[in-house]
């Protein structure tokens, strides 16, 4: 079996994501000119390991041997299903595997449930927001009424809730603006993230009881708000690694190294299964040396890797 990069397969996988060579270059941190040479059949026998890993990760964690074979022709589905192609971070694929392992279900089942689960959480968060608004308005009105009754000669000093602001919030809820932000102590917070945080905190210990190291309002669910580059899938993966390997902090030796490790596992290099299996079978020192082989090139690089 050849170990050379197949130009047509590379081109087909790139086009399946509706990417230009420039977009693939940005995702893989490989120059556009190099990608162009590969697609023209040049230097396909000389692909370095680092370039292989970056290319595979950028294309959704596809194994290298897939890139060495001719592209598969589209075929009819024998199961009656349809293939879904989405450009998602590799951390999302890893999170699907993690959740699938936790509950012993195939990731296809999770994907099938995703629209329903999003609908339920999104609408429930809006109803929670509506109830909070109603309770707040009623509470303020009662408090003001009590204040006026106690000191009627200062009734002109009390202000009632601004009907315009309340109407605007009611309109946002009616229009299902799930991803609205609000200002809290000069910081932008997400109503939806607040609700998801409450759900996470209600989970039993040992599942995913919270997001260590990152406030959930800093986590972007991927809807293009310009929030920091830290996804819900990455958060699930980070928690999953900590649950699977409780002593990972001491093994990684620093928060920065652990952060690097999470990003590498999100890209499948190494994959989560290999990480947990090697921790089970290796001694502490051997495991440290093993993950060090992945981390040291990143730590010694003068250029940003991620």
Residues 133-138: contacts with CB under 8 Å, at least 24 apart? 133/166, 133/169, 133/170, 133/173, 137/161, 137/166
Whether 283 has a pLDDT exceeding 80, the answer reads yes
Token pair listed for 280: 């089970």
What integer pLDDT is reported at residue 82 of this predicted model?
63
Token pair listed for 44: 């396909």
Omega before residue 157 within 30° of 0, cis? no
Token pair listed for 67: 């890139």
Q: What is the pLDDT of residues 107-149, one digit of tens each?
A: 778 888 888 988 999 999 999 999 999 998 889 888 888 888 8
Whether 211 has a pLDDT exceeding 80, the answer reads no
pLDDT-derived band at 227, boundaries 50, 70, 90: very low
pLDDT-derived band at 1, boundaries 50, 70, 90: very low
Residues 228-234: contacts with CB under 8 Å, at least 24 apart? 231/89, 231/91, 231/92, 232/95, 232/196, 233/89, 233/91, 233/92, 233/94, 233/95, 233/266, 234/89, 234/91, 234/95, 234/262, 234/263, 234/266
pLDDT-derived band at 228, boundaries 50, 70, 90: very low
E strands, the chain, in order = 181-184, 187-190
Question: Please, are residues 69 and 6 in contact by the beta-carbon 8 Å criterion?
Answer: yes
Whether 161 has a pLDDT exceeding 60, the answer reads yes
3-state per-residue secondary structure call for 60-115: CCCCHHHHCCCCCCCCCCCCCCCCCCCCCCHHHHHHHHHHHHHHCCCHHHHHHHHH
DSSP of 188-220, one letter per residue? Answer: EEEHHHHHHHHHHHHSPTTS----TTS-GGG-B
Mean pLDDT lowest for which of 34-48, 114-128, 157-171, 176-190?
176-190
What integer pLDDT is reported at residue 210 of this predicted model?
40
For residues 208-235, give the mean pLDDT. 47
Pairing of strands 187-190, 181-184: antiparallel
What integer pLDDT is reported at residue 129 of this predicted model?
92
62 versus 268: which is more confidently predicted? 62
189 versus 147: which is more confidently predicted? 147
Q: What is the pLDDT of residues 50-66, one digit of tens each?
A: 888 889 888 877 888 88
10 versus 223: which is more confidently predicted? 10
Mean pLDDT of the chain, nearest integer: 77
Q: Which of 92, 67, 78 is nearest to 16 (CA)?
A: 67
Question: Please, are residues 90 and 57 in contact by the beta-carbon 8 Å criterion?
Answer: yes
What integer pLDDT is reported at residue 124 of this predicted model?
94
CATH architecture designation of domain 1-71? Orthogonal Bundle (1.10)
For residues 96-107, give the mean pLDDT. 75
Whether 34 has a pLDDT exceeding 80, the answer reads yes
Most trustworthy range by pLDDT among 95-104, 173-182, 204-213? 173-182
What integer pLDDT is reported at residue 2 of this predicted model?
60
118 versus 236: which is more confidently predicted? 118
């Amino acid at each position: 079996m050849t170990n050379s990069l197949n130009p047509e397969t590379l081109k087909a996988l790139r086009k399946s994501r509706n990417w230009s060579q420039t977009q693939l270059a940005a995702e893989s941190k490989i120059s556009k000119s190099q990608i162009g040479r590969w697609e023209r059949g040049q230097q396909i026998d000389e692909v370095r390991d680092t370039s292989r890993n970056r290319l595979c990760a950028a294309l959704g964690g596809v194994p290298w041997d897939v890139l060495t074979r001719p592209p598969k022709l589209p075929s009819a589905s024998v199961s009656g299903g349809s293939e879904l192609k989405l450009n998602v971070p590799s951390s999302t694929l890893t999170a699907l595997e993690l959740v699938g392992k936790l509950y012993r279900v195939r990731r296809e089942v999770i994907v099938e449930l995703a629209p329903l689960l999003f609908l339920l959480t999104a609408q429930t968060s809006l109803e929670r927001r509506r109830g909070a608004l109603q309770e707040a308005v009623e509470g303020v009105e009662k408090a003001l009424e009590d204040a006026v009754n106690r000191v009627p000669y200062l009734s002109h000093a009390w202000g009632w809730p601004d009907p315009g602001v309340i109407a605007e919030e009611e309109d946002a809820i009616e229009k299902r603006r799930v991803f609205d932000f609000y200002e809290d102590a000069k910081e932008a917070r997400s109503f939806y993230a607040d609700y998801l945080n409450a759900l996470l905190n209600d989970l039993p210990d040992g599942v995913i009881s919270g997001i260590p190291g990152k406030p959930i309002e800093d986590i972007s669910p991927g809807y293009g708000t310009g929030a920091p580059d830290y996804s819900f899938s990455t958060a699930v993966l980070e928690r999953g690694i900590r649950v699977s390997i409780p002593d990972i902090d001491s093994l990684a030796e620093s928060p920065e190294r652990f952060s690097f490790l999470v990003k590498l596992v999100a890209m499948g290099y190494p994959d989560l299964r290999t990480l947990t299996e090697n921790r089970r079978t290796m001694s502490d020192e051997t495991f440290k040396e093993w993950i060090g082989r992945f981390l040291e090139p990143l730590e010694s690089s003068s250029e940003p890797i991620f």
